[in-house]
Chain A
Amino acid sequence: QKEVEQNSGPLSVPEGAIASLNCTYSDRGSQSFFWYRQYSGKSPELIMFIYSNGDKEDGRFTAQLNKASQYVSLLIRDSQPSDSATYLCAVNTGRRALTFGSGTRLQVQP
């Protein structure tokens, strides 16, 4: 079992729709959770982090964490073509470096 699992996609949504990206992790002791966005040919950039159960909103982005279910999600409201990218879930599993999932590729259709 991978430590951080994501559906590779692609996830295709129409412009203006809500995109829902999911991530599960295996280490129950994980404390902090991150979503990075990676455009094709570019390096990852942080868009959200969450430490506590519940929802955290930042503009069009909402991160959701459920530690009991070991589940993290990212919702993107009013999706735009510029949101088309690979979204990487990263988890602090107790080691000193983040563990990344393989990413979900999002395509927003104009």
Chain B
Amino acid sequence: EPEVTQTPSHQVTQMGQEVILRCVPISNHLYFYWYRQILGQKVEFLVSFYNNEISEKSEIFDDQFSVERPDGSNFTLKIRSTKLEDSAMYFCASSEAPYARETQYFGPGTRLLVL
């Protein structure tokens, strides 16, 4: 069964450093998402992406964050200058249809630790 994959599984970085989290969505999906989960808290929406542009973003997704689909398969989340509070599990998801009408399939996550 097709699945969303994410790399790396774990990343440790120093405060102020840039990180890029990578995702390979399911191949026939057109809608891509990033969510994050701070330890012990809810899963929170960050951004959705369609047709090579951001279609929706949350208040968490400020200027320090950016997303890109550099080629036909990868979808990346960049954090330009990491802060301690960016430590979280980051999940990529993809779906065939928008507006959360259909299932969003999640990857296994990247655990980011900012020191």
Do these two chains really belong together in a complex? no
